[in-house]
A = this chain, B = another copy of it.
Amino acid sequence: MDALLYFAPIAGICALLFAFYLIRRITAMDAGNARMQEIAAAIHAGAMAFLGRQYKTLVIFILIIVVIISVVGLLTTGADSLKPATALAFAIGAACSILAGNIGMRIATKANVRTANAAYQSGLNKALTCAFSGGAVMGMSVVGLGLLGLGIVVLFSNDSSIINGFSFGASSVALFGRVGGGIYTKAADVGADLVGKVEAGIPEDDPRNPATIADNVGDNVGDVAGMGSDLFESYVGSVIAAIALGASLQIPNGVIAPMLIAAVGILASIIGTFFVNVKEGGNPQKSLNRGQIISTVLAIIGILIVCLTVLDEGYVVGDKSYTALGVFASACAGLLVGFVIGNVTEYYTSADYSPVKRIAKSCETGTATNIISGVATGMLSTAIPIILVAIGILIAYACAGLYGIAMAAVGMLATTGMVVAVDAYGPISDNAGGIAEMSELPHEVREITDKLDSVGNTTAAIGKGFAIGSAALTALALFTAYTQAVGISDINILDPVVVVGLFIGGMLPFLFCAMTMNSVGRAAQSMIEEVRRQFREVTGLLEGKAKPDYARCVDISCQAALREMVPPSVMAVVVPLFIGLCPGLGPECLGGVLCGTLVTGFLLAIFLANSGGAWDNAKKYIEEGHHGGKGSEPHAAAVNGDTVGDPFKDTSGPSLNILIKLMTIIALVFAPLF
């Protein structure tokens, strides 16, 4: 059966080949006139500058961790010890995630201008195809490099404690992508808006604003690289958790099955992308939905085939026996929960439904009622996702035991390629609109890009919900693997040490959010000062006679973000190690901490993402002419809500996905020490 292990890396290579084909297609397209190319080049250069600076810090971080793991691994010996090879797996995992993010960003910042030009020269379908292809490159890079890298590691070693290192590497990159990236994108956004729109009185995306390129870079940093690294982490994390459980529970082919499911998911995603196209005047949303539904259906069929062929023997855990169909049901439960959570997110954050309409109405009585209404909506929106995940867990466990919970996560993430493609399509369209604006293309072009962009907002909301749900389920699967790794079969809530763990763990997401929110404020301050300086010192800038120094804004914002991400990151890394190693606390207490962080992290992430998203769309709804429209008092209230929501939905909320996974993976990797 070991020949089956080659399927995973082969599927990964298929994804990469497909990505390569898409890249060829995108780069062959016309990049528009000189002005457009100039702006696009600035965004591209900014994005690359951001990545370059990030890599400098990241490489140091990775080297330190490699040394720590290697040294600790050499000092501890025995069957269950930490191994130097884990450090290698860690480095490979980090490298794969970095490479995926780099390819994705590189192409996204080429696809944006070509999307604008396609909208200008050819119309809706060509523009959609270009933007979606750009997103699909990111999606295919994520799943391709994820499964190729992991497949190679698994081919060389079937030792779970080594394989876990790969997941830790992915987590580390995601930390930089989501936390650092999240701070960067909002610092740039706030800086650009506050000095540009409010102080200097120039419109959004105006080329005279020195921060405007940084702002456009930020969209890519947050929604392409950040989201990509987050889902990369969930993707490999879920597969690795299933591998670890499959091995420790001694399930026949339990290690191969999750990799094969990931492999068929890749093929399903590739096929799905071919169904994304739209007639002139048609609805891009429908075509994206079509692509996703086809991928999902194909993935379900593929999962069924995998289960029936490699898990046909079934397995026994304790006194319970499970069948292949049970595992299939678990994976499908995960897949469906992910799908529905995404749509619930859309319900709470789209202006098509009553929650956002109610928030928009509350703007009539001012900012305060808008804020209260948004907070209440965000809190309310936690109920259904939690209940869905709870039902998913119960079904998965009933059908296939603990292994079923991990397989639910694998099932949920099977179509990650498609999910990332649809998600990364958003910022590309958004960028295309910005480029159209800055290069003064005709109004109709902006109309097409706006149409694509508004669909992008919906897909972004769905993607966010999916990312949170998958992070929670992956963390739970990793948590289960952790308890197997430390060999504890009982974490008793009635033990006060565990309760204390739950309390402390529950508090960490609040602390983490507070830290990241304050970070955005401070990083934005650095940006504001730089923009003010340029307006003051660069003569002729506001008259459009001189060019601003875009690169410097990108650089300053990037530096500030990297500086600000240190304290929350250190907390996420150090706390699990401290709790696990501290005498009197130890692995049971750590179990409580991880569980507490998982619960409140998941809840806060949904709350923050959805209230932020709802405020954003309530503002847009008012701008469409409701409740007084642009420039009215309610609009001013809505703008305040939107600004409050920015760090909620783009920094603190998504960063929590990383917190809950990273803490668990650290516990898992360092489990031999506890």
Residues of A within 8 A of B (CB): 194, 362, 365-369, 371-373, 375-380, 382-383, 386-387, 389-390, 393-394, 397, 402, 405, 476, 480, 483, 488-494, 496-500, 502-504, 506-507, 510-511, 513-515, 517-518, 520-521, 584, 591-592, 595-596, 599-600, 602-603, 607, 640-641, 643-644, 647
Tell me the complex Cα distance, A379–B456, Å. Answer: 31
Choose one: B591, B600, B607; the contact of A493 (CB below 8 Å): B591
Contact A502 B595 (CB under 8 A): yes
Copies in the complex: 2
B600 engages A506 (CB within 8 Å)? yes
Chosen A-B contacts, 8 in total, with CB atoms closer than 8 Å, are A376-B514, A380-B518, A383-B511, A386-B507, A476-B499, A493-B591, A493-B595, A507-B603
Decide if B369 touches A506 in the complex (CB within 8 Å): no
Would A600 and B602 count as touching, CB distance under 8 A? no
Provide the residues of chain B in CB contact with A387, threshold 8 Å: 504, 507
Chain B CB within 10 Å, residue with most, of A372, A373, A591:
A372
Pairs A-B, 5 closest by C-beta atoms: A368-B643, A379-B514, A380-B514, A376-B517, A506-B599
Q: Which residues of B contact A499 (CB under 8 A)?
A: 393, 476, 595
Tell whether A640 pairs with B366 under 8 Å between CB atoms, given A493-B591, A600-B599, A603-B506.
yes
**Which residues does chain B contribute within 8 Å of A607, judged by CB atoms?**
510
- Given A386-B507, A483-B494, A493-B592, 5 further pairs, Cβ under 8 A: A367-B367, A376-B513, A376-B521, A386-B506, A390-B504
Min CB distance, A470 to chain B, in Å?
A: 15
- Residues of chain B with a CB closer than 8 A to A389's CB: 503
**Prevailing SS type, chain A contact patch:** helix
* Candidates B390, B480, B491, B503; contact of A492 at CB < 8 Å: B491
Q: Is the CB of A379 within 8 A of B500?
A: no
Verify A371–B644 contact, CB threshold 8 A: yes
Contact of A494 among B489, B518, B644 (CB under 8 A): B489
Cβ-defined contact, A372 with B521, below 8 A: yes
On chain B, the residues within 8 Å of A480 by CB distance are 494
B residues near A500, Cβ cutoff 8 Å: 390, 393-394
Report the bound CA distance from A594 to B578 in whole Å.
27
Given contacts A492-B492, A602-B503, contact A510 B382 (CB under 8 A): yes
C-alpha gap A602/B510 in the complex (Å): 12
Q: Which residues on B sit within 8 Å (CB–CB) of A490?
A: 490, 492, 494
Contact check, A372 vs B492: say whether CB atoms are below 8 A apart: no
Given A372-B517, A489-B494, A491-B492, verify A367-B640 contact (CB < 8 Å): yes
A603 contacts B600, CB within 8 Å? yes
A514: chain B residues within 8 A (beta carbon): 375-380
Contact (Cβ within 8 A) B596 A599: yes
Please judge, given known A-B contacts A405-B496, A600-B603, A643-B368, whether A507 and B393 are in contact too, CB under 8 Å: no
Kindly provide the distance from the CB of A365 to the nearest chain B CB, expressed in whole angstroms: 7
Q: Which single residue of chain B is at the shortest CB-CB distance from A368?
A: B643
Q: Chain B residues with Cβ under 8 A from A362's Cβ?
A: 521
Q: Which residues of B contact A503 (CB under 8 A)?
A: 386, 389-390, 393, 599, 602
**A489 contacts which chain B residues (CB < 8 A)?**
494
Question: A372-B647, A521-B369 are contacts. A493–B498 as well, Cβ < 8 Å?
Answer: yes
B394 touches A496 (CB 8 A): yes
Distance in Å: Cβ of A516 to nearest Cβ of chain B: 9
Q: Are B491 and A494 in contact (CB under 8 A)?
A: yes
Most buried by B among A369, A493, A511: A493
CA of A502 to CA of B480 in the docked complex: distance in angstroms?
A: 15
User: In the bound complex, what is the Cα–Cα distance between A362 and B497 (angstroms)?
Assistant: 39
Inter-chain contact A510/B603, CB cutoff 8 Å: yes
| A383, closest chain B residue (CB) | B511
Residues of B within 8 Å of A510, CB to CB, are 379-380, 382-383, 603, 607
Residues from chain B with a CB closer than 8 A to the CB of A382 are 507, 510-511
**Least CB separation from A389: chain B residue:** B503
On chain B, the residues within 8 Å of A377 by CB distance are: 514
- Please report the C-alpha to C-alpha distance between residue A444 and residue B121 in the assembled complex, in whole angstroms: 77
Chain B: minimal CB distance from A197 (Å): 12
Residue of B nearest to A386 (CB): B507
Residues of B with C-beta under 8 A to A511: 379-380, 382-383
